[in-house]
Amino acid sequence: MKLLHICKGKIHRATVTQCDVNYVGSITVDQDLLDAADILDGELVHVWNVNNGERLETYAIPAERGSGIVCLNGAAALRCNAGDKVIIAAFCLTDEPVQRQVVLVDDDNKIVNRI
């Protein structure tokens, strides 16, 4: 059996609303966005900063539904600024087909389309 890392979910060009270097790690994301992208609480995610090219891995934690929050925490907070655009992606290791969930958001992190 051959396993591949496949992108299973992505939130495309979300706006960072906050950075909290004193929080103990992770990225906090509006639960509605996590659900739409099929990203679970505690799941490993890649975060790619469109503004400065920084790339990092952390884990997702849910923020209040409908809040629009995208907050980089801990050391990750030093790699971006509020207002930066980021791509948040989750992958899975599988030998089966995956239906990728891509979520497009507006400047307020509200869902505008799903691909």
Catalytic residue among 6, 20, 48, 59: 59
User: Which of 94, 23, 16, 92 is closest to 49 using CA atoms?
Assistant: 16
**Would you say 47 and 77 are in contact if contact means Cβ atoms under 8 Å apart?**
no
- Please say if 59 is a catalytic residue: yes
Joined together, the tokens standing for residue 66 give 């409908």
Q: Name the active-site residue from 9, 10, 17, 26.
A: 26
Residues 11 and 105: their CA atoms lie apart, in Å, by 7
Residue entry with tokens 């790699």: 79
Please identify every residue annotated as catalytic: 26, 59
